[in-house]
Structures are given as C-alpha cells and as structure tokens.
Structure 1
Amino acid sequence: MAYGNRKAERVHFEHRYAVNLMGVDGTWQRSCVLLDVSQTGAKLEVEGPLDVLRAQEFFLILSSRGLAFRRCELVRVDGMQIGVKFVAERKKKGRAIIPK
C-alpha cells in the first residue's frame, strides 16, 4: 500500500478520535489519535516514543474496553504519524473438517 496511492476510500475525522495501540503480546501500549481510516488501513498520530513499533505488528484498540480492535501491520512512519494496514485472518489451505 503506497502512501497517496490507496485502493480503498478513506474517511477523515473532523474531531480527534482517541484510540490505543497495543503489542500483540500485551507488553506495551501507546495512546494515539485516529486521523483517517478505510477498510484496509488507517493513519494515526502516536503520542510518545515510537521505539515499540519495531515489532511491525500490533493491535489498534478502538474502544475503551478493548472490545473493538483490529490487528495491524506498520506500513510507514512520518514523524509522529504512522500508516497501518489491517491484517486479515489468513485462510488455511486444505479441506474443511466436517464433524460427524
């Protein structure tokens, strides 16, 4: 996903929408602001150090209780703004197992 050449239409927010990033292992968390979002990814403004983003994969927590979230992959870093791609569940190859 190249910046400026997106496949999905983005929705921009007029107000600041606070969200959180969390490591897939739960060991770190960062507050951030959701700047825009699409079906395939989002642009965020991160508060605090970006060193934890070396993991390249993390969760975008959209609700205060953590019930709404998306698994993300880091695409780009531009100062305090980052671009993420939503990671879809990988489909497994092979036949479906049908219980008897």
Structure 2
Amino acid sequence: MAEQRSHRRVVFERGQPAYMMAIDGTWRRTCVMEDASDGGAKLTVEGPLEGLQLNEFFLLLSSTGLAYRRCGLAWVNGDQLGVTFLKRSNVKRSAQTKPKSEAPA
C-alpha cells in the first residue's frame, strides 16, 4: 500500500493516553494515540464505536482537557481510527458548504 500521508509522522513506542469527546460533550472514550503528524493521528479506541458521531470530535491530549485538537474521521479499521486535525479554516469552510434550510413561504 502506498503512503498517503503528506506530513512526517512520529510513532509513539508505547502510545500516548488520550480521550476522544463529542463536540457537544455527549460521549467520551479513552484512547491511545499510536502516531501523530502535523495533519492527523492514528488512535486505538477503548470501548464500542457504534452509535458515536465520529465525523467530527475533540481529541483531548490532557486529562483536564486543556490540550486538545478538533478532529475529522479519515478511516476506521476495527478499534483503530485515522483522524485528520481540523484547522479553523477547515471548520468554517465545512459549515459554509452545508445547505441552508429554506425559509417558510
């Protein structure tokens, strides 16, 4: 398989403990960050993924939540996820491309 990453990655020998949390705070999962780059990371998630809104979420890098990244889902393979780190410009652009509901006539 060809390498698709555009950023150099750092592999953590033992993994970095982290948490995933819904944008609205309705769910939280413990995970391990296996590797990371400027553009994203590979996570191993503890617990079921069924029913979670994974299209956009926070990756909490500290137990207090003070260090975090906003993420978008890139791929899923069992209990592992590939995530893309979203920048403010990405978030604004995706919000602008959503269709607006029409005003009632």
Q: State the one-letter code of the partner of 2:63.
A: S
1:55, distance to aligned residue in structure 2 (A): 3.8
Give distance in 2, aligned partners of 1:6 and 1:16: 19
1:5, distance to aligned residue in structure 2 (A): 1.0
* Structure 2 residue 76 is the aligned partner of structure 1 residue 72: no
Task: From the superposition, tell whether residues 45 and 86 of structure 1 become closer, same or farther in structure 2 (CA, over 3 Å).
Answer: same
After superposition, give the CA deviation of every residue in 1:16-75 in whole Å (9 maximum; x if it has no partner): 311000000001000000000000000000000112443410000001110000000001
1:14 corresponding residue in structure 2 = 13
2:83 corresponding residue in structure 1 = 84
Most deviating of 82-91 and 71-80:
82-91
Q: State the one-letter code of the partner of 1:88.
A: K
Aligned-pair RMSD on alpha carbons?
1.7
1:41 corresponding residue in structure 2 = 40
Normalising by structure 2, we get a TM-score of 0.79
Identity across matched positions, percent? 51
Give distance in 1, aligned partners of 2:53 and 2:62: 24
| Greater percentage in helix | 2
Give distance in 2, aligned partners of 1:62 and 1:9: 20
Q: State the one-letter code of the partner of 1:89.
A: R
Whether the aligned pair in 2 keeps the contact of 1:59 and 1:70 (CA below 8 Å) is yes
